[in-house]
A = this chain, B = another copy of it.
Amino acid sequence: MEDREISQAVIGRLPRYFRYLGELKDQGIERVSSQELSDIMRVTASQIRQDLNNFGGFGQQGYGYNVVYLYDEIGKILGLHKEHNLIIVGAGHLGQALVNYMNFERRGFIFRGIFDIDERIQGTQIRGITVRPMEEMEAFVRGNDIDIAVLTIPKTGAVAVAEKLVSCGIKGFWNFAHVDLHVPDNIQVENVHLSDSLMKLSYNILSHA
């Protein structure tokens, strides 16, 4: 499987396939054609076939896709059969909201540690996880097989924190700080820039007014 040749646009669509297949599975539907999937997902059947062909196809002429099989396979492609150990840096409102969201844990993303610079909240707990001082972050990452760091801190601190975490062997960042992280090529970054998203919505409202 030549993963690196698969575009980020295709990768970005996989979770959506996974979501729709999960719903079909929950409804007890056993198989689905690319045309049926096309109708409910509102993308073309040819795009569905093209996207899935990147990973070897999965469909059978005249049968379509086996829902449970395709759901499981896409889950494996997305790495959801493995557990990820996460820390979150920044225990403000957004950090707390993410730690409290149970669905991530169901998918194998387990919050192991929470870190914050604010002494007043250090030692308190969020969903049973103690908020620790920043000074303990590096040893914790090294000692607990942490592979993903979630950054929910202001942009001023984010770059320096990211550099420290790279030196501790972190593999990926889920970055909510409003800054671009420049990390080595082998480190993955997924940005959630909320302000950018809201500005794009504003543009689209204005341009369709």
Contacts and interface: CB of A to CB of B under 8 A. Distances in A.
B207 A4 contact: yes
A182 interface: yes
A138 interface: no
A194 interface: yes
A8 to B, nearest CB: 8
Contact of A174 (B84, B103, B198): B198
A101 B93 CA distance: 8
Contacts of A172: 201-202, 204-205
Contact of A186 (B8, B201, B208): B208
A84 B202 contact: yes
Interface residues of A, number: 61
B190 A192 contact: no
Nearest to A100: B93
A25 B79 CA distance: 42
Contacts of A188: 201, 204-205, 208
Interface in A8-45: 8, 11-12, 14-16, 18-19, 41-42
Given A12-B200, A15-B193, A207 B107 contact: no
B148 A201 contact: yes
Nearest to A40: B180
Interface of A: 3-4, 6, 8, 11-12, 14-16, 18-19, 41-42, 77-80, 82, 84, 92-94, 96-98, 100-101, 103-104, 107, 109, 147-148, 171-174, 178, 180, 182, 186, 188, 190, 192-209
